[in-house]
Amino acid sequence: MRHAAIDPQLFIDNRQRLKRLQLPNSIAILNANDILPTNADGSLRIVPNSDLFYLSGVEQEESTLLLFPDADDPSLREILFLRETSDLIAVWEGHKLTKDEARQISGIQNIQWTSALPQMMHRLVCEAEHVYLNTNEHKRSGSNVQTREMRFVEEMRRQYPLHQYHRLARLLHRLRVVKSHWEIDLLQQACDITEAGFRRVAKFTRPGVNECDIEAEFIHEFTRRHAAFAYNPIIASGRNACVLHYIQNDQTCRAGDLLLLDVAASYANYNADLTRTIPVNGRFTPRQRRVYDAVLRVLRGLMAELSPARRHKDWQKAAEEMIEKELVDLRLLSLRDLRKQGPERSAMKRYFMHGVGHPLGLDVHDIGFTTEPFAPGWVMTIEPAIYIPEERMAVRLENDVLITETGVVDLMAKIPIEADAIEELMSR
């Protein structure tokens, strides 16, 4: 692992919180993600299963975690199964976790090789009345690829058809959305690394550079700080910024254009999510400045509105009302446009058509029940925008904030966002 060691108490506490939500005499089982193939004999680098990492700190393939809080034998209440290494594996793939290393990382004392999993699981599942199995229940997930977890669910239901099965995701959504102080520290490190990348890029950007040159600057800064991209970077100049998920990143940046940077770091699997919009030549035009300041006012307003007990849908509505007002002031909408619109045909949607924020954590679009009120411990993004394709520009700004009992803490407060601060940074 690239990152510094994490206090295992984080994972110990996470398991204890989960156990308190489990039904009596129940067992929960989680699996690592598959290593996905590419072409020929190629494969992608493994992406750790967020839920397994949350409960164990383990990032290695073919790992399985079994939690049985009411097991008669105390030594069988937590078991972590790992892939056993060999001389051949060591030569071709490198180091794999030893049992002692896994104990230090996870705080789990009973570490077994995966060869012991079938017999041990059969014994414990037969003692349990309820079985929690895990699947990806993010509302926006759309993968048609069968995962390791889904194969495991099918096999369990085939072998043990009379058990009572339950959705582990429902419990983990409730737990993971509220961040502990360890998690907030890791998220802050991801934000700080993102800040370093942004400052580097702001000083580097000038007319004539290619979007991919800017991407390379982020790679350099993130990698040297033991981090990676939290998601595919969006480096979009001019009209490209009006494509919400533009990732081509291969066009020349031109004087007079704005450059939208939706780029952030992932550190120890915890993700930042930043967007800044900067002028390619270092100075905003008067029109660009007006649009920029309008979006910044909305971001500030939404930060003030983000409080416990507020619902996401009401916060989104407040964002749209703020942006609507700014669009009128910018003469992009008229009062006549607003009178003509209906509930299913919002005039504002032409210039702002996406959500204004989402939970953030081990996943960039982190899990959690966004139909429920916000609560202390949630980390949210705030990302208002105005897109004007006919003017070859878009402005989107995004910061990550922690919700507390008394308001929000801006985890990106040190990253320049005021237009004057952006111009000053770029002038260096």
Q: Rounded mean pLDDT of 395-410?
A: 97
- pLDDT band per the 50, 70, 90 thresholds, residue 341: confident
Of 1-10, 109-118, 179-188, the one with minimum mean pLDDT is: 1-10
CATH architecture of the region 181-427:
Alpha-Beta Complex (3.90)
Give the whole-number percent of the chain exceeding pLDDT 90: 94
Residue 360 has pLDDT above 90, yes or no: yes
Q: Rounded mean pLDDT of 255-261?
A: 98
Q: Tell me the residue length of the chain.
A: 428
Both tokens assigned to 400: 């990550």
pTM (2 d.p.): 0.96
Residue 1 has pLDDT above 80, yes or no: no
* Contact in structure between 233 and 262 (CB atoms under 8 Å): yes
**Spans of all domains in the chain:** 9-176, 181-427
- pLDDT band per the 50, 70, 90 thresholds, residue 86: very high
Q: Rounded mean pLDDT of 117-134?
A: 97
pLDDT at 358: 97
pLDDT for 20-37, tens place per residue? 999 999 999 999 999 999
Please compute Rg for the chain using Cα positions: 24
CA distances from 280 to 249, 257, 276, 293, 298 (A): 15, 6, 12, 17, 23
pLDDT at 337: 82
Q: Rounded mean pLDDT of 268-286?
A: 98
* Contact in structure between 281 and 259 (CB atoms under 8 Å): no
Angle of helix 286-305 versus helix 312-329 axis, rounded to 10: 150
Closest CA to 346 of 329, 371, 321, 326: 321
Residue 428 has pLDDT above 90, yes or no: no
- pLDDT band per the 50, 70, 90 thresholds, residue 408: very high
Both tokens assigned to 341: 């619109």
pLDDT at 346: 86
Task: Output the average pLDDT for the chain.
Answer: 96
Q: Strands 26-31, 64-67: parallel, antiparallel or unpaired by DSSP?
A: antiparallel
Q: Rounded mean pLDDT of 279-304?
A: 98
Q: Rounded mean pLDDT of 93-121?
A: 97
pLDDT for 201-239, tens place per residue? 999 999 999 999 999 999 999 999 999 999 999 999 999
Q: Which CATH superfamily is domain 9-176 in?
A: Creatinase/prolidase N-terminal domain (3.40.350.10)
- pLDDT band per the 50, 70, 90 thresholds, residue 15: very high
pLDDT for 130-185, tens place per residue? 999 999 999 988 878 899 999 999 999 999 999 999 999 999 999 999 999 999 99
3-state class (DSSP) for residue 206 = coil
pLDDT at 329: 96
Residue 340 has pLDDT above 90, yes or no: no
CA distance 18 to 6: 19
Residue 342 has pLDDT above 90, yes or no: no
Residue 55 has pLDDT above 80, yes or no: yes
pLDDT for 57-81, tens place per residue? 999 999 999 999 999 999 999 999 9
pLDDT at 270: 98
- Given this chain, do its domains 9-176 and 181-427 carry the same CATH topology? no
pLDDT at 345: 75
